[in-house]
């Protein structure tokens, strides 16, 4: 009989990794017994554990891991955070998720990069999801950049999703300050009755740059996607959003871009809708502008300073 869990490796994490883990995944050290996780630190494994229903194995041909979630797995979580703790590290990881039929899981990812010198600190995570029939996945991903060095903090995530019939996936991605350069690419293909929900929250400041690309193909009848991106561009930062939804069957698709510009920030939203079927119903909405003066005035009458009022509005907008 196989053991209920297998602890493959266990290393001591450095203090920066511990701090980053808490920020990006809510982990206060390593999870306890029975919880599946893989902690990546500066291109190495700082801790890995499989559970009874979730197996994590390192790839043999390239850096990264395979996460196999057994059919019927219910109400379990798996943690796969990655940390770059110093400059002059350029990390890349290929992580594949195989979610069995009728599984119900939460996947907690996230990445933190710390630049402590003149060189850049970078992480590129390439994630692929193969979601089985009737499976349900909640995916949580948070990115942060820290450090007193003048090297850039760079995070370039790529996400590819294939959803089988009647499956459900909810993606919540957050990147609030600290990341100097990011290229975010997400592509998905949906079978019949599959439902995909995407919520992106993004803030840039200073001279930071962010580019987000979404491409969703609804290939099965009654598939659907609801994609909402909310962002704030401060300082002289620049954001570009490409949102492309393609309906190849009877389906429903909605994309929405809401952005606040502050200081000299710039936001460019480029939507794309392609209906290849008579019964494809596709909608796009976009709103870009500054904080309304009456909102600030109302909060100032409650005793807040203008700066405090702006922060409160921004925090509520990105919540």
What does the pLDDT look like over 38-65, one tens digit per residue? 999 999 998 899 999 999 999 999 999 9
Q: What local confidence, expressed as pLDDT, does residue 21 receive?
A: 86
Return the higher-pLDDT residue of 7 and 305.
305
Is there a domain that residue 123 lies in?
yes
Summarize pLDDT for 258-267 with one digit per residue, the tens.
999 999 999 9
pLDDT at 143 over 90: yes
pLDDT of the residue at 30: 67
- Is 191 within the bounds of a domain? yes
* Structural domain contains residue 1: no
The total of structural domains in the chain comes to 1
In the chain the first and final C-alpha atoms are separated, in Å, by 46
H/E segment holding residue 17 = helix 15-25
pLDDT at 7: 47
Backbone angles phi, psi at 203, to 5 degrees: -135, 135
DSSP state at residue 102:
T
Mean pLDDT of the chain: 92
**246 near 211, Cβ under 8 Å?**
no
Write down the pLDDT at residue 208: 97
310 domain-assigned: no
Q: Answer yes or no: is 304 within a domain.
A: no
Structure confidence by residue, pLDDT tens digits, 77-115: 999 999 999 999 999 999 999 999 999 999 999 999 999
Q: Quote the longest CA-to-CA distance of the chain.
A: 68
Q: Residue 11 pLDDT > 60, yes or no?
A: no
Residue 106 lies in a domain: yes
101 domain residue, yes or no: yes
- pLDDT computed for residue 29 by the predictor: 67
pLDDT of residue 12: 62
pLDDT of residue 8: 53
Residue 74: what pLDDT? 95
285 in a structural domain: yes
CB 142 within 8 A of CB 23: yes
Percent of the chain residues topping a pLDDT of 90: 78
Mean of the pLDDT values across residues 134-138? 98
CA 7 to CA 34: how far, in whole Å?
10
Measured in whole angstroms, how far is the alpha carbon of residue 40 from the centre of its chain? 16
- Tell me what pLDDT residue 133 has: 98
Quick check: 160 pLDDT over 90?
yes
Q: Is the pTM of this model over 0.85?
A: yes
Q: What is the pLDDT of residues 13-33, one digit of tens each?
A: 788 888 888 888 888 766 777
Residues 81, 54: Cα–Cα separation, whole Å = 16
The predicted pLDDT at position 172 comes to 97
Where in the sequence is the domain holding 115, given as residue range(s)? 6-292
Give dist(CA 266, CA 262) in Å, integer.
Answer: 8
1-10, 26-35, 182-191, 214-223: lowest mean pLDDT where? 1-10
Confidence of residue 3 (pLDDT cuts 50, 70, 90): very low
Under 8 Å between Cβ of 250 and 260: no
């Amino acid at each position: 009989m196989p053991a209920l869990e297998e602890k493959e490796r266990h290393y001591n994490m450095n203090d920066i990794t511990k701090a980053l883990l808490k920020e990006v995944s809510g982990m206060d050290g390593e999870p306890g017994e029975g919880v599946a996780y893989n902690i990546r630190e500066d291109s190495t494994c700082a801790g890995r554990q499989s559970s009874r229903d979730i197996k994590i194995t390192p790839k043999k041909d390239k850096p990264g891991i395979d996460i196999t979630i057994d059919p019927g797995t219910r109400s379990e979580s798996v943690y796969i955070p990655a940390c770059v703790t110093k400059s002059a590290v350029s990390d890349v990881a290929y992580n594949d998720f195989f979610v069995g039929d009728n599984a119900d899981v939460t996947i907690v990812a996230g990445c933190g990069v710390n630049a402590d010198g003149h060189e850049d600190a970078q992480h590129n995570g390439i994630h692929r999801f193969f979601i089985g029939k009737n499976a349900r996945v909640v995916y949580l991903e948070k990115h942060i950049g820290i450090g007193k060095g003048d090297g850039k903090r760079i995070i370039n995530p790529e996400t590819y999703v294939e959803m089988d019939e009647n499956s459900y996936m909810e993606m919540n991605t957050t990147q609030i300050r600290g990341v100097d350069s990011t290229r975010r690419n997400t592509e998905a293909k949906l079978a019949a009755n599959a439902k995909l929900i995407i919520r992106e929250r993004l803030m840039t400041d200073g001279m930071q740059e962010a580019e987000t690309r979404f491409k969703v193909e609804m290939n099965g009848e009654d598939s659907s996607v609801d994609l909402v991106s909310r962002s704030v561009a401060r300082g002289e930062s620049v954001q570009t959003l490409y949102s492309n939804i393609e309906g190849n069957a009877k389906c429903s698709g909605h994309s929405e871009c809401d952005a606040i510009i502050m200081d000299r920030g710039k936001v460019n939203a480029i939507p794309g809708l392609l209906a290849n079927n008579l019964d494809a119903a596709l909608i796009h909405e976009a709103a870009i502008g500054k904080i309304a003066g009456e909102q600030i005035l109302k909060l100032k009458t409650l005793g807040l300073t203008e700066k405090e009022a702006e922060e409160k509005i921004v925090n509520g907008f990105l919540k």
